Amino acid sequence: MARPDKAAAVAELTEKFRGSSAVVLTEYRGLTVTQLKELRTALRGNATYAVVKNTLSAIAARDAGIEGLDDQLKGPTAIAFVDGDAVAVAKGLRDFAKAHHQLVVKGGVLDGKPLSADDVTKLADLESREVLLAKAAGAMKAKLYQAAYLFTAPASQAVRTIDALRDKRATEETAA
């Protein structure tokens, strides 16, 4: 790797690996340039999608401290460097792969842990962050209502008991 252009490419890839929250490797064999452009557009905002050389990517991943990609860096490889929502990128890749069977998800890395292709599919099956947060907020709100009811129940029961005693006393006084 004595050539300065290769050293610059490795340095750029290393920075992309370090700056990404997740990395997803795909095989793009058989996709046209138009289809790759369509995929890049679909992933824009959450990831950058780049066709890379395997040897330079392996060196850059090692330099960035990422392990477990060497087995996946075989054949024509493109990498989605995730800087946004990893679930959204996994869903985008899954949906694109359903429409274009040539795209194959090989695996990747999420928060420093290697992912298999099945793990990326499981990640794509997760609901979005906003939906999960809304569900958590709804569950907390329900628990708060439950607690409020629990705290007010003895007081309202005491009021009903006192009213019943007043009514009973009033009927006893009118009867006597």
Per-residue pLDDT of the chain (176 residues), as tens digits, is 458 888 888 888 888 888 888 889 998 888 889 998 998 888 888 888 888 888 888 888 888 888 877 778 888 888 999 888 888 888 889 889 889 888 888 888 888 788 888 888 888 887 777 788 898 898 898 888 888 888 887 888 888 888 888 888 888 888 76
| Ramachandran area for residue 79 (φ above 0: left; ψ -120 to 50: alpha; else beta) | beta
pTM of this prediction?
A: 0.68
Instruction: Please choose, from the candidates 154, 153, 69, the residue with its C-alpha nearest in 3D space to the C-alpha of residue 108.
Output: 69
pLDDT at position 144: 85
Structure-block tokens of residue 168:
């009973």
CA distance 150 to 130: 30
- Amino acid 155: pLDDT: 80
105 close to 117: Cβ distance less than 8 angstroms: yes
DSSP designation for 75: S
d(CA 18, CA 107): 18
Q: What is the pLDDT, as a whole number, of residue 2?
A: 57
Neighbouring C-beta atoms of residue 172, cutoff 10 Å: 9
The single residue listed with the structure tokens 């860096």 is: 73
In this prediction, residue 1 carries a pLDDT of 46
| H-helix or E-strand spanning residue 77 | strand 77-82
